[in-house]
Amino acid sequence: MSAVVIQSHFIFGVRRTVNGNVCVCDEHTVVFPSGNNCVCYNIQQRWQRFFSGMVYYL
């Protein structure tokens, strides 16, 4: 039986053309925008947390 290999095709919220859109909080955590939210991703334990944003219209 052959092994299954999974590769990501899309990472929502990260654009290659925008500079400075990924922030490194510590050696294990990165924060990046995704739509109207911020995503906090722990690269060591592989969990993510979403922080909901609010839109204010004047």
Domain contains 2: no
In a domain, residue 37? The reply is yes
Distances in whole angstroms, Cα of residue 2 to Cα of each of 5, 7, 17, 51: 10, 16, 37, 39
Domain membership of residue 4 (yes or no) is: no
36: in domain: yes
Please give the Cα distance from 48 to 55 (Å, whole number).
22
In a domain, 30, yes or no: yes
Do the domain assignments include residue 29?
Answer: yes
How many separate domains does the chain show?
Answer: 1
Domain that holds residue 29: 23-52
Concatenating the DSSP letter of every residue in 17-50 gives: TSTT--EE-SSSEEEEEETTEEEEEETTTTEEEE
pLDDT for 1-56, tens place per residue? 677 776 655 556 666 777 778 888 898 998 888 877 888 989 899 898 988 876 66
Amino acid at 10: F
Inside any domain, residue 9: no
Record the pTM: 0.60
